[in-house]
Amino acid sequence: MILAGDIGGTKTNLALYTYKDGALEIQVQHQFVSQKYQNFSDVIEEFISSYKIENIEAVCLGIAGPIINGVCKTTNLPWTIDSKELQIVCNTSKVKLLNDLEATAYGMLYLNEDEFVDVNPNGKKVDANRAVIAAGTGLGEAILFYNGENYYPIGSEGGHCDFAAQNSLQDELLVWMRKRHPEHVSVERLVSGIGIYTIYEFLKEKNFAKESKIMLELNESDDKNAMVTKCALEGDTLCTKAIKIFVEIYGAEAGNLALKSLSLGGVYIGGGIAPKILPFLLDGNFLNAFAAKGRFQETLINMQIKISLNQNTALLGSAHFAVDKVR
């Protein structure tokens, strides 16, 4: 049995797989609301006891946070996850912790072509490094390093790098953000779930357009980020502009990652936000911002850019990594 996990600030997905004749087959999968638990050990113990799981051969978890010496202090949760403690709980010495984007990157290698949407139809297929970027609760970034034969995932915390404005309106946004976060304005502050509503608030304060009735009547308990997205898809002026700025910043940061990793093999977009805003990602603004890198514009405009529609990519990556590298 292979125990795989995708652990994020909003939800935690755990699944049990069998591996036979070169194929993984899922046996059990359960989603937990991460913020309901004080620590991860409660989650894993509940999963094991609820489904009476025994004989776990290997464990691989993709976690939203840096992995240092087999330990992860999660970025958006008060959890510390230790591989040595998991060895005891799961009764196996074969435990591996990955950054969640390492897991997502590895999972991309196992998706079918019909699980992707092309952002750049003119992109060229090349066997070379690939970049992976995913906006969700936070902003994750990773690299698939190609050694000439195989791909190896490399995690990063690139989402916490500085936000770089690309035009005069974004200059104003950066100044506005510095008042909220005087110590550091990361790109994740804007390219993430909470970033969508943050950009909306900026435009509202600028009096860019009049707020719609539905946005004015939102309650504190409402998902404001989701509502901005919904209203943008329905043509609301203020919400549409917020999503367009979000997409431009997302595209520019994807281009930054592509340059840093020299991802001639393409860029994969994961995370929960991209499938929800597909029309805005495909209208040209993302690609234009992605490729606007001066002397390297031609290099970037020839890269493949693919959006994953499979929301279990990280879970799949963790399971395959367990089989290929841990088991």
Residues 96 and 4: their CA atoms lie apart, in Å, by 10
Q: Which residues are annotated as a binding site?
A: 5-10
Q: Show the CA angle centred on residue 83, arms to residues 81 and 27, nearest 5°.
A: 90
> Which residues fall within 8 angstroms of residue 130, CB to CB, at 6 or more apart?
105, 108, 143, 144, 146, 151, 261, 263, 265, 266, 267, 268
CB-CB neighbours of 133 under 10 Å: 29
Residue whose token pair is 């950009």: 199
Q: Which residues are annotated as a binding site for ATP?
A: 5-10
Q: Is the dihedral of CA 145, 160, 280, 294 positive or negative?
A: negative
Residues 230 and 225: their CA atoms lie apart, in Å, by 9
Question: Pick from 283, 293, 296, 253: which is nearest to 271 by CA?
Answer: 253
> Which residues fall within 8 angstroms of residue 131, CB to CB, at 6 or more apart?
141, 142, 143, 144, 254, 257, 258, 261, 263, 266, 267, 268
Residues 106 and 148: their CA atoms lie apart, in Å, by 16
